[in-house]
Structure 1
Amino acid sequence: MSAPAGTVRLTTAQALVRFLAAQYTERDGTEQRLVPAVWGIFGHGNAAGLGQALWQAATTGDADLPYHLARNEQAMVHTAAAFAKARDRLQTFACTASTGPGSTNMVTGAALATTNRLPVLLLPGDMFASRAPDPALQQLEDPRAGDATVNDTLRPVSRFFDRVTRPEQLVPAALAAMRVLTDPADTGAVTLCLPQDVQAEAYDWPAAFLRRRVWHVDRAHPDPAAVARAADVLRASRRPLLVAGGGAVYAGAAAELRAFADATGVPVADTHAGKGVLPWDHPCAVGGIGATGAASANALAREADAVLGVGTRYSDFTTASRTLFAHPGVAFVNLNTARFDAAKHAGVQLVADARAGLAALRAELGGWRADPAHTRRARELTAAWLRDADACRAADHGPPPAQTALLGALNDVLDDRDVIVNAAGSMPGDLQKLWRARDPKAYHVEYAYSCMGYEVAAGIGVRMAAPDREVVVLVGDGSYLMMAQEIATMVAERLKVVVVVVDNGGFASIGSLSASVGAGRLGTEYRYRDPATGLLDGDPLPVDLAANAASLGARVLRARTVAEFRDAVAAARAADTTTVVHVTADPRAPGPPSSAWWDVPVAETAADPATRAAAAAYTTARRGRRHHL
């Protein structure tokens, strides 16, 4: 059967593959593929549809859309999110899974992407649109709604969600999906559910739907009146502070942020997502801010009468659960592409691209500079904090060594452009305090969702996004055991990544938190169950993570001391294959000093005196919470 003039007869899946291969983004005159590849795991819900379409494209050359095999569906979404983060949200991967458990495995990855405002495209297989074989294998029968499927679990964690129940519905659905993927203010996980019968159904597609299409990612410029209002707030301040978030990185605003700091002398603190956008040793850089931030940045935040937030969401870690910005008259100026974030803390809304907004604000301020006494105090506080951090980085502890000393050694061995990848546990807190980044792409820590298991999968995405950089995955044993299998994916794809496994026998971060809130470190160490106590507080488990990594195909180096660790990392960095460095750390070694609070509720009544004491301390600390109105 021939297709009518101006149309192409393809299955829905074949048309989608052709469509995705023809989508591009453009910013500042540079064009690149929006979706350069697809990750997937095939089953009965997508093998005959998207699987066949990708195979046909590869064997006939109909479309350039390479396929990569993941070992876990959640992991491939993490890989796509990390790739998008490393590529400033101008590129991402598509991820396909079979109907049923394969699709629901992607929910955690989707939640991470949407929380972090990172574009990923999810193409889960779905139940039969015809409902002919109901109930099909793996189908969830909902007696309240005949059209409900397990894929509906992706609705609340997706920025855009659609189910294509007829082939012709793909045209508006795919175009809407691209709109959201390329929107810097309104992006996240985008889900197109594809019923397995519809994937294989043929249709006469308009040729125009399959043509090359460029999505222009414009730099939104601020309203001049808003710029004037923002400048008024800064001019009236005596102790201003700039908070640099991830939006400054995605906008490529590093040079403009530096020019703004040089011109105004305003101290600059950074969030996890913003670390490195201003080099750590710049005269205006004062360190990380918030619950896991530097004492220097947090002292300045408490005194600040004006806060210029650039591309930050103001998460509870950044604001120390709304206790950090303590000046009674503090005013906020929020430069953000998303009005949702720009409106926070009743601030002056500067809705714009970070680079364009900073340039406009610098021009409006003219020759204005922050009070020299304030600038001088910021430098003194930062110098004092760096001395404290140096002591933590060089802590002579053990054996086994302290995590802080391992991080200091790792930071010293890596080059400025090497990328450190991390996400959860005690490491992000230590990293925000101690890591010294000069490059906005060298610090890749996912802390909006703080998802255990992200790191190894993310290392794949970062390496694919930045093949000219060394990529070092830093992962604790808790996170490693959740998603280590993607080391096999690294090996299969011949991706050279260094994986540093810091083994402390459990969950050090939650163990410390559990102790601090009177919960006795319950369930935070990897131990046998003790028959005498009934708890998991017996002897340590004989788990060998290094042997596990070797079984997945990686080269493995073991280290026992800081000196051995330094040598092992240098050797791994010089290697040309995936290499895992395993080192044991003391989970109870002291960490960097804390200078801010984080709201974790404590039991109001308890039998244990330590719990009661923690509750009293919590009651005192939460009195500092406030709304900024």
Structure 2
Amino acid sequence: MTVSQALVEFLANQYSIDRVGTDDHRERLISGMFGIFGHGNVAGVGQALLQSQSRDPKAMPYYQGRNEQGMVHQAVGFTRIRRRRSTYAVSTSVGPGATNMLTGAALATINRLPVLLLPGDVFATRTSDPVLQQLERPDAYDISVNDAFRPLSRYFDRVSRPEQLFSALMNGLRVLTDPVETGAVTISLPQDVQAEVLDVPAEFLAERDWRIRRPAPEPDDIAAAARAIRAAKRPLIVAGGGVLYAFAEDALADFTVATGIPVGNTQAGVGVLPWDHPFSLGAIGSTGTTAANRLAAEADLVIGIGTRYEDFTTGSRTIFANPDVKFININVAPIDAYKHGTAIAVVADARKALIALGVALGGFRVGADLERTIAAEKKNWDAVVEAAHSTSYTPLPAQAEIIGAVNEISEARDVVVCAAGSLPGDLHKMWRVRDSSGYHVEYGFSCMGYEIAGGIGVKRGAPDRDVFIMVGDGSYLMMHTELVTAVAENIKIIVVLIQNHGYASIGSLSESLGSQRFGTQYRYLDESAHSFDDGDRLPVDLALNAESLGVNVIRVEPGVDTIADLKVALRKAKLATGPVLIHINSDPMISGPDSESWWDVPVSALSELDSTTQAYETYLAHKKHQKHLLG
């Protein structure tokens, strides 16, 4: 068989095995393959997929995409909703087809989500050098554009000879199923090697199970963590995505109910507890709730579980303000367990560590004063959200009102999907999650354009759930073409497209930094001043654009009944059988509730603009509270 035929048959027989509790869960590791075919993969992987489908359409299902980056985003959305137990492979041609995946590779690796990337490459033999789209460097002729994947991948290999396929795939799948090392796995496939004949051992093509490791904690680390918790007066848990990937949400709920320790969650950790759980403080950090951030400011012990502590979580190292604060970090990845000068690192699976820590604490519970504070802060923040969600009866609603309407109409098991702009911050603060898989915001890379493609991937992985994709006009314009994929396969997604005529998030940030929303509005160029800030708004009709792609579009017109009309549209969309897009205008100048936190974005230290000078003084005031290490 050819190298490509061996590749396809091998991938069709790989399974993940995961034990959570007493039972093994087994499912296909590679659920299918996306591909756009050109020179570099059409006669190799493309031929192998066609041959496989002619034998058995279910052996390695093939799916079309409209953009290589979008195909990777679909794979990421799928694997996240499947909690990293299954993913897709993505095949591309050489040159721009391959490099279109670079953004997707970065997104997958930063979010630690497994995807298998199979870019075509130039001839290994170099007989036809230089081929169309080949990168030539006078100092290193063995480099192709695919080498750009090296820093963006958790594993990179190039199959320059047919027999290298065996080790490349075995090592690649080892990384895909490793909870510490996982991310983008890139196996570069020279186009001539793809079509070469290879003697393939039967054992290589046989079914193979890849166990997802769930390491138990060291007893000494658990004992040290228990001693620190017993000594604390105001402990706080920061729960990240690792809690969900470890299927530890029930263990976390049991732990916090038993101990009374409150929980703030990161973007990836939304869903670890339902929003109305008595010990859930909601979002923490720069896009957090005042409930979580006020308790963080007083915490003398922070217990990080499954979080990588990026700067939004820590308020750029300002929200943990207690001078005596110490950290316990529970994480399967040592790089995260030891962050910020942590006092106690527990390198272990989150679920196993929580169960062991609960046993070690043996009846410990926080003081009644902390529990009263938790209840009071939750009540205060709930009132803030209710006010933000309430209808203002203005022609252009605030984004918070739109979020409130979608949240109200969605059912508990429905999934909200977002990635970039001002929406993720408002969703983090205000989305009332009711199901552990009900919130899907890609905020590790915050990639504009992820939303629609990623949402399609979520729907592939959870076909029994409705998927609400919330996206602004700026992000929509970055990559809306995968709507055609949803149309072609009749995939039911509900896209809520919020039109605010520009980049609302960066506009607000620009204004706060003294840059007066420069370059963030969609307007005609004023040639006399060479400015995009003062011209008339562009007459772009994004609803009509979506209609032209075959999507069922519902327009919600501006007016005093806008939010009521939006709710009607949402109910109608839930009854649909294919993709629906709801178009609604908003007022980008109305911000969501304040988180009482900060995010470090440097301000020019010298400026002729008064607005920038004033912003710099504010910046210096915040910098005074920033720590190099948290403790």
TM-score normalised to the size of structure 1? 0.98
Residues 385-404 of structure 1 aligned to structure 2 (within 5 Å)? 385-396=381-392, 398-404=394-400
- CA shift, 1:335, in A, is 0.9
- CA shift, 1:62, in A, is 9.1
Cα distance change of structure 1 residues 62 and 428 upon mapping to structure 2, 3 Å threshold: closer
The residue type equivalent to 1:570 in the other structure is: R
1:577 aligns with 2:572: no
- CA shift, 1:122, in A, is 0.2
Q: String of CA shifts for 1:490-527, please: whole Å, max 9, x gaps.
A: 11111111111001001000001111111121111110
Task: Determine helix, strand or coil for the equivalent of 1:48.
Answer: coil
- 2:314 aligned partner: 319
Distance 1:392 1:355 in 2: 35
Distance 1:623 1:476 in 2: 35
- CA shift, 1:533, in A, is 2.3
Distance 2:552 2:56 in 1: 36
Task: Determine helix, strand or coil for the equivalent of 2:428.
Answer: helix
Q: String of CA shifts for 1:540-562, please: whole Å, max 9, x gaps.
A: 00000100111111100011311
Supply the RMSD in Å over aligned alpha carbons: 1.0
- 2:361 aligned partner: 365
- Whether contact under 8 Å (1:310, 1:354) holds in the other structure is yes
1:456 aligns with 2:447: no
Distance 2:217 2:517 in 1: 50
Distance 2:363 2:55 in 1: 62
Distance 1:381 1:459 in 2: 33
- CA shift, 1:186, in A, is 0.9
- 2:532 aligned partner: 536
1:236 aligns with 2:238: no
- CA shift, 1:185, in A, is 1.0
Task: Determine helix, strand or coil for the equivalent of 2:199.
Answer: strand
- CA shift, 1:61, in A, is 2.8
Uncovered stretches (5+) of structure 1, i.e. residues with no partner: 1-9
Distance 2:76 2:336 in 1: 21
Task: Determine helix, strand or coil for the equivalent of 1:47.
Answer: coil
- 1:433 aligned partner: 429
- 2:548 aligned partner: 551
- 1:37 aligned partner: 32
2:255 to 260, 264, 279: 260
- 1:405 aligned partner: 401
Task: Determine helix, strand or coil for the equivalent of 2:435.
Answer: coil
Q: String of CA shifts for 1:201-256, please: whole Å, max 9, x gaps.
A: 00101111111000011321101111001111111100000111000011111111
- 1:26 aligned partner: 17
The residue type equivalent to 1:148 in the other structure is: I
Residues 72-471 of structure 1 aligned to structure 2 (within 5 Å)? 72-347=67-342, 348-396=344-392, 398-471=394-467
The residue type equivalent to 2:577 in the other structure is: D
- CA shift, 1:592, in A, is 1.3
The residue type equivalent to 1:161 in the other structure is: F
Distance 1:451 1:573 in 2: 27
Distance 2:217 2:9 in 1: 37
The residue type equivalent to 1:555 in the other structure is: N
Distance 1:397 1:132 in 2: 69
- Whether contact under 8 Å (1:420, 1:471) holds in the other structure is yes
The residue type equivalent to 2:592 in the other structure is: G
- Whether contact under 8 Å (1:398, 1:586) holds in the other structure is no
Task: Determine helix, strand or coil for the equivalent of 1:110.
Answer: helix
Using the aligned pairs only, state the percent identity: 53
Task: Determine helix, strand or coil for the equivalent of 1:449.
Answer: coil
The residue type equivalent to 1:66 in the other structure is: P
Distance 2:215 2:489 in 1: 38
Uncovered stretches (5+) of structure 2, i.e. residues with no partner: none
Distance 1:63 1:171 in 2: 23
The residue type equivalent to 1:412 in the other structure is: E
Task: Determine helix, strand or coil for the equivalent of 1:132.
Answer: coil
Distance 2:57 2:495 in 1: 37
Q: String of CA shifts for 1:314-336, please: whole Å, max 9, x gaps.
A: 01000000111111111111111
- Whether contact under 8 Å (1:286, 1:379) holds in the other structure is no
- CA shift, 1:397, in A, is 5.6
The residue type equivalent to 1:23 in the other structure is: Q
Task: Determine helix, strand or coil for the equivalent of 2:624.
Answer: helix
Write out the 4+ residue segments of structure 1 that deviate beyond 4 Å after TM superposition: none
1:13 aligns with 2:33: no
TM-score normalised to the size of structure 2? 0.97
1:499 aligns with 2:501: no
- Whether contact under 8 Å (1:21, 1:63) holds in the other structure is no
The residue type equivalent to 2:591 in the other structure is: P
Distance 2:100 2:510 in 1: 29
Q: String of CA shifts for 1:601-629, please: whole Å, max 9, x gaps.
A: 00111111010000111111111110124
The residue type equivalent to 1:278 in the other structure is: L
Distance 1:570 1:607 in 2: 52
Q: String of CA shifts for 1:9-55, please: whole Å, max 9, x gaps.
A: x1110000010000000112111000010011100110000000000
- CA shift, 1:395, in A, is 4.7
- CA shift, 1:86, in A, is 0.5
- 2:564 aligned partner: 563
The residue type equivalent to 1:569 in the other structure is: L
Distance 1:290 1:47 in 2: 47
The residue type equivalent to 1:16 in the other structure is: L
Task: Determine helix, strand or coil for the equivalent of 1:79.
Answer: helix
- Whether contact under 8 Å (2:178, 2:213) holds in the other structure is no
- 1:515 aligned partner: 511
Task: Determine helix, strand or coil for the equivalent of 2:124.
Answer: coil
Distance 1:166 1:61 in 2: 28
Distance 1:209 1:447 in 2: 38
The residue type equivalent to 2:464 in the other structure is: D
